[in-house]
Amino acid sequence: MQQMVKINELKANPFKERICKIFSTSTEQNGSISFEDFLDIFSAFSSSAPIHVKAEYAFRILDFNDNGTIDRADLTKFLGLITGNDVNNILTEVEVMMIIDMIMIDVDLDGDDCINLSEFQHIASKVPDFAG
């Protein structure tokens, strides 16, 4: 993983370690990447990959606690990574909760306070940049 996270396509990505963990087929579960894993990463996120494949992997990457849903804890971690809030405290706790509430209103279609794969795929299909 140490070499993988240094390549240009990943080194600035806040999810680089998580990507390695999700795609790693190592039995040691340490995020090590084989050549086949490497190919899978770039295949899944290539412009020619079907949107449902991209959405499934993106969902797994964002499910930080690996419980099969994207819940408020996952969204808190997500916001911390994309804003740098986990290091720089850019957002207050109230602001983070407000953003998470807005995400849940827009994405949590069944009202169970978490985002399942189907809900994630639904919203991903509506985002033009996601398909590209």
Whether 30 and 59 share a structural domain: no
Q: pLDDT per position in the chain (132 positions), as tens?
A: 778 878 888 888 899 999 999 999 988 877 788 999 999 998 998 888 998 999 999 999 999 999 999 999 999 999 999 998 677 888 999 999 999 999 999 999 999 999 999 999 999 988 887 765
Domains contained in the chain, number: 2
Q: Mind giving me the DSSP string for 66-119?
A: -SSSB-HHHHHHHHHHHH-HHHH--S-HHHHHHHHHHHHHHH-TT-SSSB-HHH
pLDDT at position 129 is 73
**79 lies in the same domain as 37:** no
Q: What is the pLDDT of residue 30?
A: 74
CATH number of the domain at 60, please: 1.10.238.10
Same domain, 69 and 125: yes
Q: Give the integer Cα–Cα distance in Å for 88 and 104.
A: 25
Owning domain of residue 32:
1-44
- Which residues are CB-contacts of 64 (< 8 A; sequence separation ≥ 6)? 18, 73, 74, 77, 78
pLDDT at position 31 is 73
